Structure 1
Amino acid sequence: MVSMKDIALKCKVSVATVSKALNDHSDISQEKKLIIKETAKEMGYFPNSAARALKTNRTYNIGVLFVDDANSGLTHEYFARVLEGFKVEAEKNGYDITFINHRIGVRTMSYYEHCMYRGVDGVVIACVNFNHEEVLELINSDLPVVTIDHIFNNRIAVISDNVKGMHDLVEYVYQAGHRKIAYIHGADSSVTTDRLASFYRTLEELNVEVPDEYIREGAYHDSQKAEELTRELLQLKERPTCIFYPDDFACIGGINVIKGLGYRIPEDISVVGYDGLTISDVLEPKLTTLKQDTSRLGREAAIHLVNLIEKPRTALIERVVIAGKIQLGKSVKEI
């Protein structure tokens, strides 16, 4: 491996001069800087990350904590898109990313201990049980942290506008003439709380009553649970004319049951998804859903985390809300 000493010998200058040139110090002439930098490039020199960390007190490494209940990992399209947006923006700012977990070799450790072991400059947290003691340990630590789709008073949060998103979907379905509207929502979380409250509030504003049996607790990214709950809704004496699902992937389970029982979509029953995944475009009929701006969610999380790392004195603890928009399909009938 090429060292600064090797570059110094070739350029016939001191190691200190090479260091100053590579770090753009002002007391080195531009001409000498150019010669030293070109020589370093030709010789294949790369600064040692450990040495750079000692000098700058920064590793340029960001931790990503991502653990979803469905154990779908990066096959979970919504979060895969969010994390891709985060990765692109982080790398543009010169940062690598490391996934945080419980193990280093055979040793088990907490999320915070893993962050300390890897020496990350900050952490983004997405799709976890935010009430877990190990997550709270990170939240209450001195590490710069940004959360996605969850709010803590002492941390920057980047969230999708679930309140407006659900309002717009309910308003659209109402304008299509539906009054018997059911909702299979996801498991308990701040996202679910916002969507469910917006669902009830919007229908209340529209003077539409929601029977308790129309509301069912399912799970995100779980088509089997959606199948089970859809079957229950279709067995009701007064079955709904439209069913909302927690996400597009779960909606597939509902569609399978509806078609399997001989009903047509949307002629006999309408369905609505959430997220705007690729699958929503290729389903038959094309799914009406709320398309979230996943790329921007990831980018904003990276922008705010990098700013928090590099400018901690001026970084504001704020809630960054990203709007989505209705993606019209053909799964909602006009009554």
Structure 2
Amino acid sequence: MGLADVRRLEDVVAELRALDYRYGGGSCRVAVESRLPAATALLDGVTKTFVLARLYTAVADLYNLAGWTNFDQDRPAAALAAFARALELAVEAGNDDLQANIRYRVGRLHLHYGAVDAALAEFARGREAALLAGSKLAQAILSANQAWAHAKKGDVTGALAYLRRAREEFADAEWREPSPWAAFFGRTDLAAMIGTVHGELAQVVDVRHGRDGIPALTEAIAGYRRGMTRSRSLTLIWLATVHALDGDLDVAVTVGEEAVELAGALRSPRVRQRLQSLSAAARRFGGNADAGAIVDRIDHLRHSSTIIE
């Protein structure tokens, strides 16, 4: 067992992560989980310290991906178990940057299911690890997600303060090579998070906040490369939701059509669940034909989906 074997495992994780981004967790969850036993067994065959630390990191990241794909498949218990194992291995590897990323992903799971305080606790632990790692990119990711959590609580001041910090940290990180598990978070994803925070504030505080997020959401949608299908779909959902909340229903229909089309093609129950925010925004305008078209399209996707999870 040597460095070449570790590199092969890292390449496998990268390939599976790309499938997850492009097609959703259902496209690769089984493949990820099938590799866990053999990857874990590799840990017993290494004696060289520098190889062992890198191997622990690679196996930890495979478990990290297993957690994320289970989350995307609406399997929270399995996701949390995988994240817990990933964290143990990342600690063993002494990799604070990866620990920060795992904490971020656990926080996102809690946020998705409405456990905002639990999410904030994980983001805070992740920030501690990111500071130890000296990773400005990890700090930016956590700040952006802390902003989202505060937006969900209706805390406008806190949400905007964390967004400002995320921008500053991201600017400090741009010249550094990102780790594989954090490389997704470039300018486009930062823009998406800025738009997401404003969209959340539009839902829970005042619809006017959504208007401030439209330029960032539009920028993100234009910037997502071809392989980032799920991220593009989630951002389209936010843009359609913001327009629907503000009564721009003709625009919401146009944007929502693309969002629903992408959501239907993805093997990602999480994305389809997020469509309910768009449906709820459209339902505020009962009797409007455009609003009804949005609701009907989302209902049709929910009831007719035959995707094998």
Q: TM-score, normalised by structure 1?
A: 0.28
Write 1 or 2 for the structure with the bigger share of helix.
2
Write 1 or 2 for the structure with the bigger share of strand.
1
More contact order relative to length (CA 8 Å, sep ≥ 6): 1
From the CA coordinates, give the structure whose radius of gyration is larger.
Answer: 1
Q: TM-score, normalised by structure 2?
A: 0.30
